[in-house]
Structure 1
Amino acid sequence: MKVFCLRMVLVLSLIFVSAAGAAGSAEIPREIPPGDLKIEQWAGQAFTFLALTADKQAGGYEIFTADRAAQGFQGDRSARIPYSEYVGKQVTVTETVPFAVGYNQQEYMVNMTVNDTGEKLTGRTMRGQLEGLVLTADLNSARQQFLGKTVYSKSRELSGLQDTGGDSMRMPVAVTIGSPMSVVDVYAGNQSQEPILLVVLVNGRKAVLPIAYSWTNRPVESWTQTPPWQEALFMEDPRISLGGSADLWNEIQAGNIKEGMTKEQVRLSWGKPFQTEANDSTWYYGSKKLNFRGNLLDSIETFANDSAALSVH
């Protein structure tokens, strides 16, 4: 703990010296980020504070003003910036400073400036992510891409949104996988993994669909070649693009799988596999082993975790 605190003090010293030298010459944020941004590429980018969940609002954001950062990083919760004063505000990152946290691992101190006041703030990534913020360009891009469009669900249930005199009450809304939904609003959400909320109209009711627009501010080990929002929705009717009979889609909605399904249809029914092998031709779900021939499900095997022989269906 002593060694960690000493490292933190050294890192903070570097940040404050750098911030002092950069005073009066703040960088202009780029409107469109160059794809998915790793933390070392954040300098010059604008971020927006998320609306924290009700149980976290009293604790504020785990981000600190420059003069109280040392106390905050030593665990003083009173040093956190208050929720009510920063929710929805934008900051521009001025510098990211890496520091070692273990064998061949590092995190970052993130130095930023509040856009409308010039106030200096400092945060620290945990597991490669800075909580409480969304890349502003992602929020703008999501509005441009989805607002007013029809998207198609990959879920069986969404959180409902019912306006009640200025307040909002959440309740579940049942949806059909592949059903069309109209996007009527887009705004910053309340958690960093999926920091953007699409407000969708489905079966005459409003619901919220959380997404991440890019892999920015997500742990690098979770990145894939496809945008993360594709985990939540289709842009085209999957009953046309993926094919399949009405009976097959009823099976998907019921959470069933059968031989002949495509990988995407299996994924829609059962979600991501817990493990894959043999160049993605074998998928595991609990006690089930799925064998694919090319893109099609060839066989389903059931096995007991203790050592029983596999049985093929």
Structure 2
Amino acid sequence: MGGSTPVAQNRASAGHKLGQLVGDWFEKYVAWPLLSDVAKSLDLYPDSRFNMRSCRPGGKVMWPDLEGNTVDYDVVFELGGTDDKIGEIVAAFETFWRRGIRHSKDKARDDSGKLGAIRDTYPTARMLCIYAAGDFSKPAKDLVKSRGLELFYIPKRDILEVWEENGVTIDYPDKADETSKAELADLAAKALRQDTDLLQRIADSLWDRLGATEKTRMTDVVRARLSALPRNYTIDVVDFVHLEFASRIAVQEFIDRGEFLQQVGDTHREYRYTVEFGDGDVFERSGLSWIELRQLHKNLGRLVKHVERLSQRALK
């Protein structure tokens, strides 16, 4: 009686294993190559668990948020990043495959929350995106968009069909028993063991179906997000004064002179830094020290200069 438990557990997890197989394939062979190419086309450094770096030996792509939590992301674009140095985060992506539509709104809520945390922490994190494949309900899509995130979506039908075209069945009726699911999982695993190039060919089939427009569309969206530059800056010295600036350079001149800091005569005052972007986004951080204020503005300035260089290059 006790000896039958492992078999039952293996069968019960067969659907999950099959979903994990497809999800890992989607992240490694579809999302990561696409996003890596997009980042490089914009002179940004792409990072994921598939990219080994001496400055990030742990494997996961981890970034701290305002609450002191360290959150891992599937793909991050960095400005000024290298294999040896962490740069400024300018984009973050979550990718996933969902075979069924159940709980897709919960998934959307979780992932959009992770991405929102990075937006609230870094003024340079301008592009936040969920790249999903499979069944994703309309309420889930609406939730993602309502939180100001980008959503790229490949329908379940396309994924199932390209796997089928390459001789691997990954779909099953919703009421299929665990034995049937286990048989599909075993057949898929066997096919992959016998053909080490199969996963890449399935991805190639998907790209043949999607066409080159998918990469172009993604690149255009990222570029547009980054190109929505700051149009107004505000610095508040908490409980003291409110200052507005029309340009990044005006803020930098104010910070460089340090005259206001000397005037208030108190390096322990707290500052609030607010930036309004051209696409309507607003970044705000409170409780900043003078040094933190200077660093935030310096980091954002690097991104502004980078985008201006990209624009000039496009005009040539």
**What is the TM-score when the length of structure 1 is the normalising length?**
0.22
**What is the TM-score when the length of structure 2 is the normalising length?**
0.21
